[in-house]
Each structure stands twice: as C-alpha cells, then as structure tokens.
Amino acid sequence: MALMKILEYVTTLKLIYNLKSINLTKMKKLLFILTLGLFSFQQVQAQTATTKKQELKHVVLFTFKASSSKASVDSVVKAFNHLYGTVPQVKNMEWGLNMSPEHLDQGFTHCFSLTFSNEKDLANYQLHPAHKAFQTILKPHMDKVFVVDYFVGAR
C-alpha cells in the first residue's frame, strides 16, 4: 500500500517536472530514498504511539513509628490496598515487605507500587477522597515516606 503511494508520488513528480528523460537508475534511487523517508516517518509514529501507551508507576515506601502496633500498621496496609478498586484511576497495585539482604533500606519496610495510565490519572488519584481518607489513617503511624514516579521504559 505504501509502495503504491510512493509510485504515485514519483509519477506525479515526473509529470510536474516533465522528467520524461529520467532514466531507470535515477528513478530507482529516488524510489529508494522516498521509501527510506516513509519508513523513518512510520518508525517515529510507532515510537510516539508506544510512548503514549506507557504505564506510569507510583512507588511509595514507608517506615512506621516504633510506637505503632502491628495491628495499626496492618490497618494502614489494608486501607492502602482498599484504594485499588475504589479509585478508578488505579489500574493495578502491588505491595510487599522489604526483605533485601543488602540492608540498604534505610528503615523502609513497606513498599507499594501503583500503576496509572498517565500523569493526569495520578494527579486525580492524589485528590480523590479515598486517597485523602487513607492519608488520615496513615498520618499517626508514618515515620517517613519515600515516593518515586516513573514511566515504564522499554526493555
């Protein structure tokens, strides 16, 4: 299909510029250059489409106050997990406890990873009443928080 468009374009060029004497070799070179240009254009379009489909990750790590009981921390975890399914912008959510043998965690024990379609969805999540309610539950127990947001890159 694209090749037919290129041939039509070359034929149009030939007519416009009255290139009746153009030889076959020049025509092939011109066709080759136009094909490369079209291929490059399609690659840029494909990359743009891929970029638009990237996922946005919102990673949150917590340390909790020593005065907070296990039951209190468990209630915070339950409340955070409740955001998935309650806030429509959250596409996916995972969480876990740190178990790294490297001991470079700086005291962060709980890690949550939320997936969004775009920055607007992340912003809407942060303003959502359920997220605000979660922050109220979290605040008395949180010692430190560390947040990283990033678009998932290609492999």
Q: What tens digit of pLDDT does each residue of 44-94 get?
A: 555 555 555 789 999 999 999 999 999 999 999 999 999 999 999 999 999
Contact, 9 vs 34, CB < 8 A?
yes
How open is the CA angle 115-119-122, to the nearest 5 degrees? 55
Which percentage of the chain shows pLDDT scores above 70?
66
The CA distances from residue 100 to 95, 108, 112, 142, in Å, are: 14, 11, 15, 21
- Look up residue 152 and give its DSSP letter: P
Handedness of CA 113, 115, 120, 121 (dihedral sign): negative
Is the pTM higher than 0.85? no
**Average pLDDT of every residue of the chain:** 83
